[in-house]
Amino acid sequence: MKYYARRIAFYLVTLWAAISLNFLLPRLMPGDARSIFIDKFMRRGGEITPAMERSIDLVFGEKDASLWEQYVRYWGNLLKGDLGVSITKYPTPVSDLISDALPWTLILVGTATIISFFLGVGIGAYAGWKRGTIADALIPGMTLLQSVPYFWVALIFVAYFSVALGWFPIIGGYSLRDFPAGPEWSWAFIGSAVYHGVLPAVTIIIASVGGWVLGMRNMMVSTLSEDYVVTAEAKGLTKGRIFTWYATRNAALPSMASFGITLGFVVAGSIVMEQVFTYPGVGKLMINAVQDKDYALMQGVFLVITVTVLAANFLMDLIYGLIDPRARNNV
């Protein structure tokens, strides 16, 4: 029990520190939201009407409360579940923006991450099993794909599969022509959403699968030289049984741990993918908030990410404590 109490206390302190940093870091950055807003407007060639000029002052002219006062207010609002109002999407509450974007991110990036993990572990296990054969040639190819810049792969895919061949849509999470009123609960809509998700998901998988393959393959090779594998072979077990239940299961453990953390990071979305495919998601909220000095939105997104990653870590910690007694004694 002491182990869990200590872990919980540790995570509470970490949470407090993370949330406080969330508050502090954006404010340490130079620049001011008002002139950035006007500048972006101008660079686009826009015109600011007299009425808008006044409201810009109202929206961006936040009263100069001291940092401490702001900090106290920040915590107060946070505990009330109020994340504030975004200034770049004024006057939308931050919680609305995040809750609209989150499902897209969770489903697409989440699914892609899971597929990528299973695919990577599967291929890695096979390559490790057949080490020294032609199967090993997979490894450099896969890692090469991972090291190619993601946005480039994505742009090539769009140019080829969407524009040249016309197989896939170019933008959006669903067809904007067919559903101008937005998401609805119908098979046609779900079909449209799945269709729009294929290309983004494929690019994410291609870009991330290599890491899983490499890690798994190497673990597999070292597991295969373990005594219990030799014993299993000596007992005359079938190859399939040794592969699945003796080698792969043990070799997958480290991958499982990092898979937990990766799942936690899913909520951060995939910034570049969302930009290239104009796909709804959290990553875009984050990058826009940072660029435009939208403190409330920035804090909101960072908060969601920190809390989820911490929760994922915590969960992995608990599970590790459960399955590995050594972890419990070593705190």
Asked if 209 contacts 123 with a C-beta cutoff of 8 angstroms, the reply is yes
Is residue 285 near another protein by the rule CB under 8 A? yes
Asked if 315 contacts 59 with a C-beta cutoff of 8 angstroms, the reply is no
Give the residue with the Cβ less far from another protein, 101 or 219: 101
Choosing from 1, 2, 28, 30, the residue that interacts with another protein (CB under 8 A) is 30
Letters for 64-93 (x = contact with another protein by CB under 8 A, - = none) are: ------------------------xxxxx-
Which residues from 288-327 bind another protein, rule CB under 8 A? 288, 291, 293
Give the residue with the Cβ less far from another protein, 190 or 331: 190
Give the residue with the Cβ less far from another protein, 92 or 258: 92
> Considering only 6-14, 125-133, 274-282, 303-311, which stretch makes contact with another protein by CB under 8 A?
274-282
Asked if 200 contacts 273 with a C-beta cutoff of 8 angstroms, the reply is yes
Is residue 218 near another protein by the rule CB under 8 A? no
Asked if 198 contacts 108 with a C-beta cutoff of 8 angstroms, the reply is no
CB count in 10 Å sphere of residue 50: 6
- CA–CA dist 272, 148 (Å, integer): 13
> Considering only 122-130, 136-144, 271-279, 298-306, which stretch makes contact with another protein by CB under 8 A?
271-279
> What distances in angstroms separate CA 127 from CA 191, 223, 242, 248, 318, one per listed residue?
35, 13, 15, 11, 32
Which residues have a Cβ under 8 Å from the Cβ of 196 and sit 6 or more positions away? 168, 169, 172, 173, 174, 175, 279
Give the residue with the Cβ less far from another protein, 17 or 29: 29
Smallest separation, CB 123 to another protein (Å) = 15
Which residues from 93-112 bind another protein, rule CB under 8 A? 97, 100-101
Smallest separation, CB 96 to another protein (Å) = 8
